[in-house]
Amino acid sequence: MKALTIARRFCGPAASSNGGYFAGIVATLASETLAVRLLKPPPLEMELTVSERADGVLEVRNGEEVIGEARATALQLELPSPPSYFEAIEASRRYAGFTAHRFPTCFVCGTQRARGDGMRIFAGAIADRQIVAAPWVPDASLDRGDGKVRPEFMSAALDCPGYYAVTSDDRMMLLAEITVHLDRVVHVDESCTIIGWRMGADGRKHEAGTAIFDEDGEPCGRARAIWIEPRS
């Protein structure tokens, strides 16, 4: 049995983890691509235990309560061509979170997080492309110790742009499942472009794709996510 604790810095909603970060930190316990399902909001500053079931699924527990599951999978995801870094900068000016933000202290996309604390990934629409895009230059606080970004932060970066790809009106949605595959780990201070795009919807269930590209337009990471609108 393994254990992990999510620091308060890495919140999504104020009292629980950012979903992409949670998925990323769970994925560091395995050597393969995982589909991570969030069953309950992952709490902050509490020791969570991780154990493997007989069927190979990892269970993350807060005491006796199962809050997440992760299973090995393969991610097949066709990526749209990326906009340029400067197009992503322009798109970020149209970030819907500047007008209304349900979780303004989110580690990834919160507008109330300062540089060097939050990731400040503000994905805005590129209307004629039907994608959202944002620039991202990882800061030194994300360094894993060798000048490269810790993988869980790339997983976090692939979370919130998916939300803004499937809605632009600040409606309540929760990340239900995310599958992240990293092509390569990016460097601190590397100029990256992140995109998100809608993949489909079925009632309260919405599916999004996200991807990180380097300054040469090469993919560095990709994810497929399921977002759920809670029942009122």
**DSSP per residue, 124-171:** EEEGGGTEEEEEE---GGGB-SSSBB-HHHHHHHTTHHHHHHH-SS--
Helix (H, G, I), strand (E, B) or coil at 114: coil
Tell me the two tokens of residue 147: 């000048």
Can you tell me which residue has the tokens 């149209």? 94
Q: What is the predicted pLDDT for the residue at 168?
A: 80
Q: Residue 189 is which amino acid?
A: D
Tell me the two tokens of residue 9: 């810095």
Q: Residue 89 is which amino acid?
A: I
| pLDDT confidence tier of residue 154, bands split at 50, 70 and 90 | very high
Domain ranges of the chain: 2-72, 85-228
For 101, half-sphere exposure in the C-beta direction (CA atoms, 13 angstrom radius) is 23
User: Model confidence over 21-69: pLDDT tens digits?
Assistant: 999 999 999 888 999 999 999 999 999 999 999 999 999 999 999 999 9
Q: What is the CATH number of domain 85-228?
A: 3.10.129.10
Distances (CA, A) of 135 to 129, 138, 139, 151, 212: 16, 10, 13, 18, 10
Percentage with pLDDT > 90 across the chain: 94
| pLDDT confidence tier of residue 137, bands split at 50, 70 and 90 | very high
User: Model confidence over 189-218: pLDDT tens digits?
Assistant: 999 999 999 999 999 999 999 999 999 999
d(CA 203, CA 208): 14
Q: Residue 85 gets which letter from DSSP? A: H
Q: Note whether 2-72 and 85-228 share their fold.
A: yes
Tell me the two tokens of residue 145: 């110790």
Q: Residue 55 gets which letter from DSSP? A: T
Can you tell me which residue has the tokens 């209304």? 100
* CATH architecture under which domain 2-72 falls: Roll (3.10)
